[in-house]
Amino acid sequence: MNKHYRIGLVVPSSNVTVETEMPALLQRHRNATFSFHTTRMRMHTVSPEELRAMNGQRERCVDEIGDAGVDAILYACLVALMVPGHSDGVGEHERTEETVAAQLADRGLAPHVSSSAGALIHTLRASGLTRVGLVMPYLRPLAELVVAYLEAEGIVVTDWRALEVADNAEVGCIPGDRVLEAARSLDLTGADALVLSACVQMPSLPLIQAAEAEFALPVLSAATAGAFTLLDRLGLPVDLPGAGRLLTRDAKVGA
Residue segments in the chain with a per-residue pLDDT below the cut of 50: 86-87, 254
Q: What's the pLDDT at 88?
A: 52
* Residues with catalytic function: 77, 199
Q: How far is CA 172 from CA 15, 88, 89, 242, in A?
A: 7, 28, 28, 21
Q: What's the pLDDT at 90?
A: 73
| DSSP-derived secondary structure letter, 138 | S
Give backbone dihedrals phi and psi of 134, rounded to 5 degrees, phi first.
-125, 140
Q: What's the pLDDT at 51?
A: 83
Say if residues 210 and 202 touch (Cβ distance below 8 Å).
Answer: no
Q: What's the pLDDT at 84?
A: 57
Q: What's the pLDDT at 254?
A: 47
Q: What's the pLDDT at 110?
A: 97
CA angle 99, 113, 50 (to 5 degrees): 65
